[in-house]
Amino acid sequence: MARDIKKLVAEMTLEEKCSLLGGGDFWHTKAVERLGIGQYMMSDGPHGLRKQDDKADHLGINESIKAVCFPAACATTSSFDRDLIYHMGDVIGKECQAENLSVVLGPAVCIKRSPLCGRNFEYMSEDPYLAGEMAASYINGVQKHHIGTSIKHYAANNQESARMSVSAEVSERAMREIYLPAFETAVKKAQPKTIMCSYNKINGTYSAENEWLLTKVLRDDWGYEGFVVTDWGAVNDRVKGVIAGLDLEMPGNTAANDAAVAAAVREGRLDEAKVDECVERILKVFFDYDDNREEQVFDRAADHEIAARIEEDCAVLLKNDGLLPLDPSKKYLFVGEYAVKPRYQGGGSSHINSFKVDSAFECSRAAGRNIDYIQGFPMDKDALSEEDLASLLAKASEYDAVLVFAGLPDIIESEGYDRKDMKLPASQNRLIEELLKVQKNVAVVLSNGAPVELPWADEVPAILEMYLGGEGVGQATDRILFGEVNPSGHLAETWPYKLSDNPSYMNFPGNTRRVYYREDVFVGYRYYDTKEMPVRYAFGHGLSYTTFEISNLRCDKECFTDGETLKVCVDVKNTGSRAGKEVVQLYVSDLNGTIERPVKELKGFEKVELQPGETKTVEFEIDARALSYYSEELGDWFAPSGEYALLAGEASDRITAEGRVKFETKKMLPLHIDVDTTIGELLSDPRTAPVIHQMMAGRAHDSGEGGISGNEEEDAAMQNAMMQYMPIKSLVSFGVLPPDQVQGLLDMIRSQV
Ligand code: GLC
């Protein structure tokens, strides 16, 4: 039964209202029994329920209930499959209904600025378009069950180092083009019921009290309707937070802040209407949950199988010289403790008390594979004895191939701290390198949440990236290795050869006060491709046991303009001998050189399943926004009139179909007209160009002097080039304009705009 929220708020005392702006304990909101408002439980996610049982402790780290651990976002985003992650959200939404959880705290979409960020396993991508599309699908899946989500961490929380105090110093353009769009897409395509603001500052202001972030961008620009909740413990000044648009402070212990808000209202420093707005937005989410309860059963066994199936479509085949898939009739050796104790999730608030964990070794044995196991190195530390190594090497050649299960121990990557480098434990690299000397058939199976350096990659015939694949990763690994599943994941982040190639390298993680995002919009492939820098594996890379051909890109228009859309079609064919799924990616490129822009940007992707020999046509639809950059001068998105390239392929570095389209816009960049305005700016603006041409023509006639080269055309070209960067004030110095005519020229120019 829908309650009249405004009426309910009108019946509340100021103290009751303010009490609802803060948590009741670590995981619950406060109640107002007098008015029949109960407590509501929120809990982590994003890839399963970390729901503490009733004995929640004040730090929220007591054991949580048994739940199903799905693949982490580093894996699910690699599926490039909106339907798959929607399905995962759908299942998690049902689990929340069964467990009386009103909000699941995810998805996490912070852009992977550096591969070192300790929580990259929990984040989606280096590309905001991919992250936004996948986040919106997850949110729609969960919220189908009237369970709230909490997309996080809003915004620019791209490191764990000093995350509660550091200020991310970022240009507005980089915020708008890189660090905000995933949230924007989620708001516009899924309306997450809550958004979690980040701990950090942005350009000196805490997110929790940043009015530009929480009101101007989120609500005025994007039309956000839900409520903003803090990351746990992120509040700095609660009254400033209410004014900025922060609705709910978590966790509990907020009595002092609740009182501070009430006092600010009483003293006229805070409009009570702002408090009412916060309460209304909070109650709207929780009442929607209340009014739409579902009878759901948390079937852990069934959801475990779903988690395994999901991971099968996330794993990324990085390299395969033909060693995979393995032949079940042959004999194989599994090496590395991850084979029997998989690393399938990350450390910190997303850590799930998993219902059941499959290991590759047990699943392969259960499937009747002819395999043996030798530990070699442990899963939790960097250790390998000479004796163990020697014993392994003595046996390795007895097998048709050796599968090394390598990866990053929990202690290296987790919430709360960043990695120091991109290296695998030295013992793992050593074992692989020594093994290659006695056995050429070596496949490496990786379990890590972020890119690692692979010094042996050129020598190893096959590399399969499982990322942190959830509790069903063992089944998925076995079925992919032995060919029952054809891998179809593609990288959602670039793997550089070495850390120092990464664009953030010189500015990460800053100090405890500031970190400068000096690479600006050139994050990930936007940097490597623009710099033409070779990388180990490119954004979008992913192999299959079959092959595909992407071709024949065509558009439904040769030119389009503001308010119109462009349809782009591409054919994809399975040119191999077995069924498989391909991810067709569409990038756009501004060929007009009007401002520093990445050479390409992802603006579409579709995953298609194809039988051998089958061809399908994939259709994309783009608009002016897809061609635009964010102009700080204009305070809006802007795509200059001119020509754009449309690039389609199976990876950012494997473009196999191209097209061109023209775009005409009526939008104009603001033209600042003063004595510092250059002739080039005035010539490039159709409104002012005639004035300059007239002035130049008059001057050339008056002076009558010869040019430098004596060739009239060449002289004109040289003169124009020199004039490009000449400000109006310099025309006087070079005798082009008498001093007493400068104002007249400025007036004339101003009269044209
Ligand atoms: C943590 C995390 C956040 C999580 C919250 C509750 O500090 O940053 O992602 O949802 O607190 O555990």
Lowest mean pLDDT among 395-404, 444-453, 480-489, 703-712: 703-712
pLDDT at residue 289, as a whole number: 98
Query: 241 alpha carbon to ligand 1 midpoint, in Å?
Result: 19
What CATH number is given to the structural domain containing 84?
3.20.20.300
- Residue 56 confidence (pLDDT): 55
- b/e burial code for range 350-366 (CB count within 10 A of at least 16 → b): bbbbbbebbbbbbbbbe
In a domain, 23, yes or no: yes
Which tens digits make up the pLDDT trace of 679-693? Answer: 999 998 889 999 988
- Strand-strand pairing, 629-631 and 636-638: antiparallel
| Residue 540 counted as domain residue | no
Largest CA distance in the chain: 94
Binned at pLDDT 50, 70 and 90, residue 736 comes out as confident
Select from 747, 748, 719 the least CA-distant residue to 734.
719
Look up residue 138 and give its two tokens.
Answer: 């997850």
Nearest CA to ligand 1 atom 7: 232
Predicted confidence (pLDDT) per residue in 290-347, tens digit: 999 999 999 999 999 999 999 999 999 999 999 999 999 999 999 999 999 999 999 9
For residues 106 and 247, membership in a common domain is answered with yes
Which burial class, exposed, middle or buried, applies to 203 when counting CB atoms under 10 A from its CB (0-12, 13-18, 19+)? middle
* pLDDT at position 702 over 70: no
Coil, strand or helix: which one is 550?
Answer: strand
Q: Among 559, 540, 543, which Cα is nearest to 647's? A: 540
- For ligand 1, what atom is nearest to the CA of residue 199? 8
Left, alpha or beta for 584 (phi > 0: left; psi -120 to 50: alpha)?
A: beta
Please give, one letter per residue, the 3-state secondary structure of 247-273: CEECCCCCHHHHHHHHHHHHCCCCCHH
- Collapsing DSSP to helix, strand or coil, 554 comes out as strand
β-pairing verdict for 601-610 and 580-590: antiparallel
Q: What are φ and ψ of residue 618, in 5° steps?
A: -105, 135
Residue whose entry in the numeric block shows the structure tokens 């029952």: 484
The answer to whether residues 274 and 396 belong to one domain is no
Residue 295 Cα to ligand 1 midpoint, Å, equals: 28
pTM for this entry: 0.96
Q: State yes or no: cis peptide before 328, omega within 30 of 0.
A: no
Q: What is the pLDDT of residues 250-266, one digit of tens each?
A: 998 899 999 999 999 99
Residue at which a domain ends, from 239, 265, 290: 290
Of the residues 231, 247, 358, 478, only one is catalytic, namely 231
Residue 543 included in any domain: no
The average confidence (pLDDT) of the chain is: 96
Categorize the per-residue pLDDT at 2 as very low, low, confident or very high, splitting at 50, 70 and 90: confident
pLDDT digits (tens, 9 = 90+) for 147-173: 999 999 999 999 999 999 999 999 999
Tokens representing 406 are 């390598």
Phi-psi region of 348 (alpha: psi -120 to 50; beta: other; left: phi over 0): left
148 vs 569: CA distance, rounded Å: 36
CA of 245 to the centre of ligand 1 (A): 20
Pairing of strands 167-169, 514-516: parallel
Per the CB < 8 A criterion, the answer to whether 107 and 119 are in contact is no
C-beta separation of 445 from 462 below 8 A = no
Residue percentage of the chain with pLDDT more than 70: 97
Full DSSP string of 222-250: T---SEEEE-TT--S-HHHHHHHT--BB-
pLDDT at 584: 99
Name the band, by pLDDT with cuts 50, 70 and 90, for residue 708.
low
From 50, 124, 231, 352, mutation site for ligand 1 pocket: most ligand atoms within 8 A of C-beta: 231
- Indicate if 95 and 157 belong to the same structural domain: yes
- The atom number, within ligand 1, closest to the CA of 122 reads 9
Q: Quick one: pLDDT band at residue 378, thresholds 50, 70, 90? A: very high
Nearest CA to ligand 1 atom 3: 231
Question: How many domains is the chain partitioned into structurally?
Answer: 4
Amino acid found at 23:
G
Residue from 620, 608, 6 nearest 279 by CA: 6
CATH code assigned at 363:
3.40.50.1700
pLDDT at residue 703, rounded to an integer: 53
Q: Which residue has the least CA distance to atom 5 on ligand 1?
A: 232
Q: Is residue 444 part of a domain?
A: yes
Residues 581 and 653 both lie in one domain = yes
Does one domain contain both 217 and 314?
no
Model pLDDT for residues 492-510, shown as the tens digit of each residue: 999 999 999 999 999 999 9
Q: How far apart are CA 500 and CA 215, in angstroms?
A: 37
Q: Which helix (H) or strand (E) holds 624?
A: helix 624-627
More confident residue, 745 or 705: 745
Residues 28 and 155 in one domain: yes
Q: Which two tokens stand for residue 733?
A: 């110095």
Query: Domain range holding 718?
Result: 679-750
Residue 716: the pLDDT is 76
- Percent of the chain scored above 90 by pLDDT? 91
User: Per the omega criterion (within 30 degrees of 0), is the bond before 251 cis?
Assistant: yes
Q: How far apart are CA 531 and CA 7, in angstroms?
A: 59
Domain boundary among 290, 319, 351: 290
Q: In this structure, are 640 and 692 located in the same domain?
A: no
Residues 327 and 210 in one domain: no
Q: Is residue 541 part of a domain?
A: no
pLDDT in tens, 548-572: 999 999 999 999 999 999 999 999 9
614 plus 689 within the same structural domain: no
Are 439 and 580 within one domain?
Answer: no
CA 204 to CA 218: how far, in whole Å? 19
- Measured distance CA(695)–CA(745) in Å, rounded: 9
What was the pLDDT predicted at 436? 98
Atom 8 (ligand 1) nearest CA: 231
Beta-strand ranges (E) seen in 469-600 are 514-516, 548-555, 559-561, 565-574, 580-590
**Whether pLDDT at 117 is above 80:** yes
Backbone angles phi, psi at 198, to 5 degrees: -85, 165
Strands 565-574, 636-638: pairing is: unpaired
Burial (CB count within 10 angstroms: exposed 0-12, middle 13-18, buried 19+), residue 464: buried
Over the stretch 338-351, which tens digit does the pLDDT of each residue have? 999 999 999 999 99
> Is the residue at 433 inside a domain?
yes
Residue 670 Rama label (left phi>0; alpha psi -120 to 50; beta): beta
Of 531, 559, 589, the domain-final residue: 531
Per the annotation, the verdict on 290 as an active-site residue is no
Residue 704's pLDDT is what?
53
* pLDDT recorded at residue 59: 67
* Residue 672, domain member (yes or no): no
Distance 598 CA to ligand 1 centre (A): 33
**Residue 187 pLDDT > 60, yes or no?**
yes
| Residues 524 and 554 placed together within one structural domain of the fold | no
Ligand 1 centroid – CA 126 distance (Å): 21
Q: What is the DSSP letter of 505?
A: G
Q: Is residue 674 one of the residues assigned to a domain? A: no
Supply the DSSP symbol for 208: G
Residue 416 has which token pair?
Answer: 């709360």
Question: Which whole number is the average pLDDT over 407-421?
Answer: 95
Domain co-membership, 618 together with 506: no
Q: What does the pLDDT read at residue 477?
A: 98
Which residues form the pocket of ligand 1, taking CB atoms under 6 Å from any ligand atom?
44, 60, 105, 152, 231-232, 349
Q: Which of 232, 351, 417 to mutate to test the pocket of ligand 1 (most atoms within 8 A of CB)?
A: 232
Q: What are phi and psi of 229, to 5 degrees?
A: -115, 150
Q: Taking the CA atoms of the chain, what radius of gyration do you get in angstroms?
A: 29
Helix (H, G, I), strand (E, B) or coil at 511: coil
Q: What is the pLDDT of residues 594-612, one digit of tens each?
A: 789 999 999 999 999 999 9
Give start and end residues of each alpha helix (H) in 20-110: 73-76, 82-98
The string of pLDDT tens digits covering residues 48-67 is 999 997 665 666 667 899 99
**What are the Cα distances from residue 468, in Å, to 70, 362, 413, 506?**
9, 18, 11, 28
